[in-house]
Structure 1
Amino acid sequence: MQIPLVDWLRAQDDETLATLLRLRPDLAVPPPADLTVLATRAGIRASVHRACDDLDTVTLAVLEALVVADADTAPAPLAEIRRLLGPDVPAAALDAALRALRERALVWEADDDGTLSLVPAAREVVPRHPGGLGRPAPGPVGSGALSELLASVEPDELRVLEALAAGPPIGRSRAGSDPTSPVGRLLARGLLLRVDPETVELPRQVGLALRGERPLGRIEVEPPDLATVDRGAEMVDGTAAGAALAALRQVEALIAFWGETPPPVLRSGGLGVRELRRAAREMDVDEPVAALLVEVAVAADLIGESDGVAPEWTPTTAADIWAAGGPEQRWALLARAWLELPRLPGLVGRRDDADRPIAALSEPLRRPLAVRDRRRVLAGLAELPPGTAIGAPEALSQLLAWRAPRRGGRLRDEVVGWTLAEATVLGVVALDAISGPGRALLNQPAEAVAALRAALPEPVGHVLLQADLTAIAPGPLVPELERDLDLMADVESAGGATVYRFTESSVRRALDAGRTATELRDLLSARSATPVPQALSYLVDDVARRHGRLRGGAAASFLRSDDEVLLSEVLAHPDSTVLELRRIAPTVVVSPLPLVELLDGLRAAGFSPAAEDAGGGVLDLRDRGRRIDPRRSRGARPAAPPEPAGAHLDAVVSRMRSGDALAGVRRSVSGSAMPANGSSATLATLQDAARARRTVWIGFVDGHGVAGERVLEPVNVGGGVVEGRDSVNGDIYRVPLHRITSIALVED
């Protein structure tokens, strides 16, 4: 007798059921009431499709063999499956594939003789022509005359049959209407079937006979070789650390740039091509890298879409908190945001279905499965020893395609290349090998910060000043020196060694922030491993000599200077008319303009004013850029998709067992259940059951008015409450008597 799936599930132990729910988590949402519900869900087409996404090439070939053997309609012998798979699939590989199918409840033993049954929905998972074979045909082909028919075919007819036997079994031929053509002769003898006037199909029996000992064709049992190169863990981690620092510098530049000039949000959503190009120039990267960094910055909530009639992409206040952290913490936030990014930045610039270019930050980039595919690529690299790189991305694509042929869709191979390129930009991958920080990010996210800290070189506290007004930082700088250099110089190039350039505007920026010429000279002397070039000293002194001779304050604003001639020169300058200056004393001039606008206008006219506070000290009026509130909480993101916990799975299995037992009891007491018309009758029934150690079925209503039922062995009855042990899991439950709606004794 054929065993249905639900009965096979009932015969399995709890560990097997928990494994099924772990491999197919959709079956447990919401938790099934009993095993009948579980068996029904396990055969649903959408669930079967999801369950097959993780199967490798060999397991899918076994699934096709089961479909060819019609195991979805009647149990198929294991020997027939072996025959269909041919000599390429050894017994161990077949056993492993069947075990994977059983664990997912796609296949089960239908009888004691070892025949196998397949869920009917599996036929919709395999290709339209399983194994490249056509449909079975009646007539002479389906009888013992097939060998004689094949022996009589002519060479030109055999070529047609062999071409269709190699798959697919469907061919198009206009010569089929000619009875003297090879196709016409094959149709006349039933070796081909007509589908329509121009299409023919090779019957399954003919295809199996022509393929000989390999009925399903050649099956690749072993995964493709993955050629590797040993780069050395130290070199990989060092290169990754340099890439991570460069990425941080580029994101900082993006935040500063968009803080001053936020780009508009397109009406269709996203970022315009021109704005992306401008951001790429500002970060000194190409456009694909700029698109990646923009996507990651938005995903990390460092940049967001502002409110208003004309929304703009504006840095958030979280960007300031991020900038105050160390490089390890800042990198970890960006790397996690990229790893969990449900989008494909590699699609930026491509054409959508309407032949329109896909913009960065736009909706067409959203791909919910991008996180899963990104993790698969990194996991493939993480299987290799530290410092070991793949020979070519194509080899990794082939390996992943063998492991899960159904995953990835038409962009499967491109996603591998995009993931490797993006991971290289962020330092997760370097030299085609996963870095130490990248491995920690994937497997132990809490250790990612420490892993990058170990990969970074020790911070240095000095620079090398050059005669061409540049300073070379031979490695990452200590935080205070880095802040000082960012204030008084501009980054010219970043990498393992960062080059800073001193200019008149950068030195003035430091003076505007309140530094004096003496402080700048002392800083350069103390922090330089080489003598301070004379040209740099002259630059600092020259800018400082002109800086602050004019003093501005808020009146709306005012200018003061001990040099009356200088104020007269300002008033006489042609560009001063727009500043609306008015002299109120020999050394004081006022303006209705805000102080920032007044000072900017004077600088544009060639003067070097400085702002002062109420005490006469230099006031830093540098623009910090626009900011908006972050869109979401800065709480930690989950490092990986949540998986059902063991305790949760055990609870679901226990509930299904209880529900199954309850369903059986319900069927047995359906005709004998009595309404609990009075508490005295209910009390008497429960007391009798407790004395006789009988099991009772009770229906009740809980405190929320929800109806329920339970099978109990009463232990104690009194005080308006029955206390009993659950007949399935052995737990003790207490049910108030007044909430019991029906009751029945369970027959042994």
Structure 2
Amino acid sequence: MTTPLVDWLRAQDDETLATLLRLRPDLGVPPPADLVVLATRAGVRASVHRACDDLDSVTLAVLEAAVVADADTAPVAVTELARLLGPDLGAETLDAALAALRARALVWGPDDALSLVPAAREVVPRHPGGLGRPASGPAGSSALPELLAAVTPEERRVLEALAAGPPIGRSRSGADPDSPVGRLLARGLLLRVDPETVELPRQVGIALRGDRPMGQVPVAPPDVGAVNRGADVVDRTAGGAALEVLRRLDLLIAFWAHTPPPVLRSGGLGVRELRRAAREMDTDETTGALLVELALAADLVAESDGVVPDWVPTTTADVWAAGGPEIRWATIARAWLDLPRLPGLIGRKDDAGRPISALSDGVRRPLAPRDRRRVLAGLAELPAGTAPSSAAALADLLAWRAPRRGGRLRDELVTWVLAEATVLGVVALDAISGPGRALLTDPDRLVAALRVALPDPVDHVLLQADLTAVAPGPLETALARELDLVADVESAGGATVYRFTEATIRRALDAGRSAADLHEMFAKRSATPVPQGLTYLVDDVARRHGQLRGGMAASFLRSDDEVLVTEVLAHPGTAALELRRIAPTVLVSPLPLVELLDGLRAAGFTPAAEDPGGAVLDLTDRGRRTSPRRRRRTTARSGPPEQDAEQLAALVSRMRAGDAMAGVRRGTAAAATNGSTLDMLRSAAAAHRSVWIGFVDAHGVAGERVLAPHSVGGGVVEGRDTVNGDVHRVPLHRITSIALVEDPD
């Protein structure tokens, strides 16, 4: 006898119902009024599809076997499922798969009478188990063994080809009664679908497969072929990758601050602009696309508010740049993990045949964070420093665990995630790094995990005779800032090479450094003797630097050298500056100070700006900035929010109460009289029983409630609502009907 799902749910304990709601959170939104509503939702096609997305290959094979056994129309025994699945599936594995299906209310009932939710038939493939539809003719009779024994070798080859799956085949020779297909059709061992298509009946396929009616069931997960890379090597490599990401993002921010690319009319970043950004960051276009996406996700860049918007760094970028490498990297890593976009799609064609551009809506995929976490979780299961043999091996394992997830991009997603994680340092040498593991499992210790992985910062450089300096590792923050000011990066990598030029020395002097400051820094911070050429370069630039001093008049120019002031006035390149002499050593101009100094430099002079006290003023252009967009943080969850144990328990209690109330409504509630109501309420309070009451409120509106009364008197009953736990007081004269709620068995 078939047990309805609602009756089976009523017989389960509260913990089982809470587990069901946790595994299928969509069933609890909105909260079901009772168990009838819960059972109805559990059988809805869309909900069943979502529930099956988390099932592995073995559990899905058991579900297919239940469909083949028609468990959705009549109960079947576990032994029948075991027969269909064959000897490869052990009893413990089968029990575990059935437990997973029962926990999700996809099957229910005892082992000798399992029932299947009808919507499951729409979840499995069109031909479950690679078997065709059952036949009612000779193929479905007891004469099938004799019919199969009488087929010729040529006919058996046709049957075995279809038995291997799929059971549908095309043959134009079926119209010829003397062909193998024609003879099989005549004997009912094949069924005609259309003039050119035939189908192998289910009974024939099962008979030909022998003791494996469902074919080969993938019982064991694929082997990923683990390779030990060494945890220390992986973490050191990851630390280097993390520093490289930060360096490239710094280059991107500096580049877009002065030459911001326009926003396409359709949104996003143009192909040529992406190529320019990638060249500036010294990387390929694929990595460049990932970095610009991360810059947008971390709110380091945003669209400007102009009439013609462009991509401009935000003020958040300045705050981010001031932090230590661990904090800066943690911000980028978290932004990547929760990024609801697939940078791997950039450059591909969309459904309309148009190329997908970076920073456009075409890259958006809300489920990307979930899939990203799945890949990292697969790597995190391996020991520290251990990598799978290949991305394909990891993709096969994830496909076995959740065959229905990922869609057509499933295998490519694994490759993309590994490549992106490697760029960031979340993965190194195909193994998840220490910081990557912390990012996935314990974000609170992410900064500390990266600090351990980063090489110790060095406090010195190696000055070379060719006016370069070699940093043998990551520099201390203060030293790195000074070197960025006084030199340009010529090449980056394990050791960074800086180049000193007249322009870079002048840049440092413009920022307020003196020649003595630079000589002192070189002497203290160099592990090699300071080259004489570098000393001469600093002294030569400093000798000419700042002899002219500009101020705000709109602007003024002064010098202790009257001959130099006269030379400036007479120079043809300064005519546009509209200079005039107001004292032997002072000139003024109506132009802003920055324009005045730029014009003098263009004419070949080396002026410096000064503040009212005469100190050198830094007028370095930091480029454009825009306000941060403060984007709402995304999560990897695609469905309803998860509820904690307390919330689930309250939801189960509410459904139980609603079910009890519905049961009272289905039964006979007594019409309330003063005497019967008072007696029943006092009896319920004494016995600690619940009662269902129907009542009308002060406005004449009818209502109902299940109460656990604890005091009756003075014309009022006071009790706790069994649904939400609130205490209510109901006047006895407003109660219209009443019934005891039966205790659950």
The TM-score, its normalising length taken from structure 2, stands at: 0.94
1:295, distance to aligned residue in structure 2 (A): 0.8
Distance (Å, rounded) in 1 between the aligned partners of 2:702 and 2:541: 84
Q: Which of 434, 437, 441 is the aligned partner of 1:436?
A: 434
Corresponding residue SS for 2:667: helix
User: Is 2:301 the partner of 1:303?
Assistant: yes
Amino acid corresponding to residue 709 of structure 1 in structure 2: E
Distance (Å, rounded) in 1 between the aligned partners of 2:589 and 2:694: 86
User: Hey, what does 1:210 align to over in structure 2?
Assistant: 208
1:276, distance to aligned residue in structure 2 (A): 0.7
1:323, distance to aligned residue in structure 2 (A): 1.1
Moved more, 170-179 or 707-716: 707-716
- What is the alpha-carbon root mean square deviation over aligned residues? 2.5
Q: Residues 502, 738 of structure 1: CA spacing in aligned structure 2 closer, same or farther, 3 A cutoff?
A: farther
User: Hey, what does 2:682 align to over in structure 1?
Assistant: 691
1:193, distance to aligned residue in structure 2 (A): 1.6
User: Hey, what does 2:289 align to over in structure 1?
Assistant: 291
1:445, distance to aligned residue in structure 2 (A): 0.5
Q: Residues 26, 587 of structure 1: CA spacing in aligned structure 2 closer, same or farther, 3 A cutoff?
A: same
Corresponding residue SS for 2:707: strand
Task: Give the 5 Å matches for 1:560-709.
Answer: 560-632=558-630, 643-669=642-668, 672-673=670-671, 687-693=678-684, 695-699=690-694, 709=704
User: Hey, what does 2:154 align to over in structure 1?
Assistant: 156
Corresponding residue SS for 1:308: coil
Moved more, 83-92 or 456-465: 456-465
User: Hey, what does 1:371 align to over in structure 2?
Assistant: 369
Amino acid corresponding to residue 647 of structure 1 in structure 2: E
Q: Which of 666, 689, 705 is the aligned partner of 1:710?
A: 705
Amino acid corresponding to residue 693 of structure 1 in structure 2: A
Corresponding residue SS for 2:728: strand
Q: Residues 491, 742 of structure 1: CA spacing in aligned structure 2 closer, same or farther, 3 A cutoff?
A: farther
Distance (Å, rounded) in 2 between the aligned partners of 1:480 and 1:725: 66
Distance (Å, rounded) in 2 between the aligned partners of 1:485 and 1:654: 66
Task: Give the 5 Å matches for 1:713-728.
Answer: 713-717=708-712, 722-726=717-721
Moved more, 706-715 or 75-84: 706-715
Q: Deviations over 1:696-736 (max 9, x none)?
A: 4234689999986322242224578632145689x562235
User: Hey, what does 1:30 align to over in structure 2?
Assistant: 30
C-alpha contact 1:686 1:714 (8 A) present in aligned 2: no
Distance (Å, rounded) in 1 between the aligned partners of 2:324 and 2:731: 64
Distance (Å, rounded) in 1 between the aligned partners of 2:691 and 2:366: 49
Q: Residues 628, 144 of structure 1: CA spacing in aligned structure 2 closer, same or farther, 3 A cutoff?
A: same
Q: Residues 426, 716 of structure 1: CA spacing in aligned structure 2 closer, same or farther, 3 A cutoff?
A: same
Q: Which of 484, 487, 499 is the aligned partner of 2:485?
A: 487
Q: Which of 727, 733, 738 is the aligned partner of 1:733?
A: 727
C-alpha contact 1:133 1:203 (8 A) present in aligned 2: yes
Q: Deviations over 1:9-35 (max 9, x none)?
A: 111111111111111111122221111
1:270, distance to aligned residue in structure 2 (A): 0.8
Q: Deviations over 1:159-179 (max 9, x none)?
A: 221111111111122222222
Distance (Å, rounded) in 1 between the aligned partners of 2:320 and 2:219: 49
Moved more, 481-490 or 583-592: 583-592
Q: Deviations over 1:585-608 (max 9, x none)?
A: 443333333222222233233322
Corresponding residue SS for 1:350: coil
Distance (Å, rounded) in 1 between the aligned partners of 2:516 and 2:510: 14
C-alpha contact 2:515 2:538 (8 A) present in aligned 1: yes
Distance (Å, rounded) in 1 between the aligned partners of 2:397 and 2:708: 57
C-alpha contact 2:455 2:473 (8 A) present in aligned 1: yes
Corresponding residue SS for 1:693: helix
Q: Residues 214, 619 of structure 1: CA spacing in aligned structure 2 closer, same or farther, 3 A cutoff?
A: same
1:238, distance to aligned residue in structure 2 (A): 0.9
User: Is 2:30 the partner of 1:19?
Assistant: no
Distance (Å, rounded) in 1 between the aligned partners of 2:668 and 2:590: 93
Distance (Å, rounded) in 2 between the aligned partners of 1:154 and 1:231: 57
Q: Residues 343, 708 of structure 1: CA spacing in aligned structure 2 closer, same or farther, 3 A cutoff?
A: farther
Amino acid corresponding to residue 723 of structure 1 in structure 2: E
1:529, distance to aligned residue in structure 2 (A): 1.5
Moved more, 283-292 or 457-466: 457-466
1:309, distance to aligned residue in structure 2 (A): 2.4
C-alpha contact 1:580 1:591 (8 A) present in aligned 2: yes
Amino acid corresponding to residue 144 of structure 1 in structure 2: S
Q: Which of 351, 354, 369 is the aligned partner of 1:353?
A: 351
Q: Residues 271, 700 of structure 1: CA spacing in aligned structure 2 closer, same or farther, 3 A cutoff?
A: farther
Corresponding residue SS for 2:466: coil
Distance (Å, rounded) in 2 between the aligned partners of 1:740 and 1:50: 46
C-alpha contact 1:669 1:744 (8 A) present in aligned 2: no
Corresponding residue SS for 2:599: helix
Distance (Å, rounded) in 2 between the aligned partners of 1:624 and 1:705: 72
Distance (Å, rounded) in 2 between the aligned partners of 1:528 and 1:270: 45
Task: Give the 5 Å matches for 1:325-344.
Answer: 325-344=323-342
Q: Deviations over 1:18-64 (max 9, x none)?
A: 11111111112222111111111111111111111111111111111
Corresponding residue SS for 1:279: helix
C-alpha contact 1:271 1:359 (8 A) present in aligned 2: yes
1:571, distance to aligned residue in structure 2 (A): 4.0
User: Is 2:538 the partner of 1:540?
Assistant: yes
Aligned length: 736
